[in-house]
A and B are shown apart, each in its own frame.
Chain A
Amino acid sequence: MKSFLLSLLLCSWSLLACADPAIQVENAWVREAPPGAQMMAAYMTLKNTGSSDVTLENITSPTFRMVMLHKSVIVDGVARMSHQDSLPIPAGTSVALEPGSYHLMMPAPEQRLHSGDLVEFNLQFADGGTVRVQAIVRKKP
């Protein structure tokens, strides 16, 4: 019970690593959407510092009604986004969600987000662990 309370306390302190300390999230950001854009994308680097493989299975956010895991690929000059059911992060490796590759894709909220705003994502892993991530909205190519 004591350790549970302690971890609860730690969780509320640190938004970055919570419940799944093997996963470290770095450089989480959301691309500021142009006016009129209905979709947004978010990026981050997921680092698995543990000794067992983990799989990202689901993402939720209080800001967005839906968060999808996508991958952009360009095959024979044609850009295509494909839905990913999950994203494996083998032990000791890191996976980058970055422009032109893996990304989170969300419908833009009613209230337009601006550069500097903070939004939260909840990453849920196959082993039951979750990681709460704070991402900053940025105007970036």
Chain B
Amino acid sequence: MKIRIIPMLLAAVLLSACSPPQPPQLQQGTLLPDAKIIADFQLTDQNGKPFTRKNLMGKWSFTFFGYTHCPDVCPTSLSMLAQVMKKLEQDKTPGAKPQVVFFSVDPERDTPEVLAQYLPYFNPDFIGVTGDPQQILRLTRQLGILYGKSPGESADDYLVDHSASILLFDPDGNFRALFGTPHDPDRIAQDFVAIRNYYEASR
């Protein structure tokens, strides 16, 4: 009996080594069937330096689209992302640490200076990106991110409706996965590791 099981196990191991890795079962995220390659864009980070598609390459990126005049949903999401980063801190795998990029959908009010003040509060490594409204639109359109002004109490008090999802980019700078609300830091951190392992195994 034992003799028969061993060759079967061996066959199973060999078979699994040859077949392509299976996409992971995610708890919260949605993995895109194919990574989406995005066209280049020209924006600016919180230090006034250019931020383009190249800045999404070489490491994983969690991205969120919001605005600093948003006191409810946006700080909640940014704190949540800070918790995700804390959970991933112990992971010493080379290239494992993702970056977090906050894209402003309110470039009129969110200047690089405002973002430089605002973002380190959540995590000193968070990157804030703003710039030409046309370039922001160029990027968000490719990603299915929606936003638009809605009137507030006065003309300069407007609100901005915006997609609440968190988007994950792989180290090739391609859009890989999406996390809808409500966001849970444990699940997102675990999903991220599963996606990263799958990506590594598929290469």
Contact = CB atoms under 8 A, between A and B. Distances in A.
Interface of A: 31, 33-41, 66, 68, 70, 72, 74, 77-81, 83, 99-100, 103, 105, 140-141
B122 A34 contact: yes
Contacts of A141: 75-76, 79-80, 83
B140 interface: no
Interface string B57-80: 000000000001111110110011
Interface stretch (B20-28, B90-98, B158-166): B158-166
B118 A36 contact: yes
B153 A100 contact: no
B73 A100 contact: yes
Nearest to A140: B79
24 contacts: A33-B75, A34-B75, A34-B117, A34-B119, A34-B122, A36-B113, A36-B115, A36-B117, A37-B68, A68-B153, A70-B72, A74-B164, A77-B180, A78-B146, A78-B164, A79-B70, A79-B161, A79-B164, A80-B150, A80-B161, A83-B153, A100-B181, A103-B71, A141-B76
Listed from nearest, the 7 A-B pairs whose CB atoms lie closest are: A36-B117, A141-B79, A34-B121, A41-B71, A79-B164, A80-B161, A39-B71
A74 B70 CA distance: 14
Interface in B39-71: 68-71
A99 B69 CA distance: 15
Contact of B76 (A33, A36, A77, A99): A99
A35 B117 contact: yes
A40 to B, nearest CB: 5
What's the dominant secondary structure at chain B's contact region? Answer: mixed
B182 interface: yes
Contacts of B11: none
A59 B75 CA distance: 23
Nearest to B157: A107
B72 A78 contact: no
Interface in B87-142: 109, 113-119, 121-122
A53 to B, nearest CB: 26
Nearest to A80: B161
Given A79-B162, A105-B71, A74 B181 contact: yes
B142 to A, nearest CB: 16
Contact of B73 (A40, A68, A72): A72
Given A36-B114, A66-B153, A78 B163 contact: yes
A79 B109 CA distance: 19
A63 to B, nearest CB: 15
